[in-house]
Amino acid sequence: MSISESSPAATSLPNGDCGRPRARPGGNRVTVVLGAQWGDEGKGKVVDLLAQDADIVCRCQGGNNAGHTVVVDSVEYDFHLLPSGIINPNVTAFIGNGVVIHLPGLFEEAEKNVQKGKGLDGWEKRLIISDRAHIVFDFHQAADGIQEQQRQEQAGKNLGTTKKGIGPVYSSKAARSGLRMCDLVSDFDGFSERFKVLANQYKSIYPTLEIDIEGELQQLKELTLL
């Protein structure tokens, strides 16, 4: 598994203008798979089919709240965060900067699938994660559960989230207080200080929220060494 640095979105063209270079006719084809019916449309199965002839598979948004099931040689693989196309051994899989990543969940998902069969052999060498992807922390998930409980108590119904912290982490991203993969791998001391600030902000918002700050930091540090 490696972390990729973001590249500039625009380049200087020969005429002096600044813009994105146009693809040449007959160049590589890009296929985009999107769901337009609120989930469970079968995106994972479509991606798995298309990935058979692909060199690169990229996930652009979301987190590990959703799930895709892929069956290969009678073995059922479950994907929540990993791009499901990674099951093709010839594919390089990208997790883009729009995705939010719970690192313990990522490694747990990979390990479970590795134990099921050979479909994910060598996955860590074929996965590239954007350094701008935001990180889901355990307290994001805990806050998600508290929010659901509050909705139930105050309005008599909740949203039915998976309590994976997806909403809270995107809120942190929008508020510019979230932490990214580049923060984690570049300067862990600076990352730790910002993590503590963010954790204490959540504790002030949710007084019943319990956060093992040092324990989670230690876990994240160990995961960066894998």
- The residues annotated with a catalytic role in the active site are 40, 68
**Cα–Cα dist 94/105, whole Å:** 17
Provide DSSP, 114-158: HHH-STTTTGGGSEEEETTPEEPPHHHHHHHHHHHHHHHHHHS--
Cα 171 to Cα 100, 131, 160, 174, 177: the distances in Å are: 11, 19, 18, 5, 9
CA atoms in the 13 A half-sphere facing the CB of 222: 8
Maximum distance among all alpha carbons in the chain?
62
Contacts 24+ apart (CB under 8 A), 22-28: none
83 phi and psi, to 5 degrees? Answer: -60, 125
User: What is the tally of helices (H) and strands (E) in the chain?
Assistant: 7, 10
For the chain, the residue count is 226
Q: Please state, in angstroms and rounded to a whole number, the distance separating the CA atoms of residues 95 and 133.
A: 8
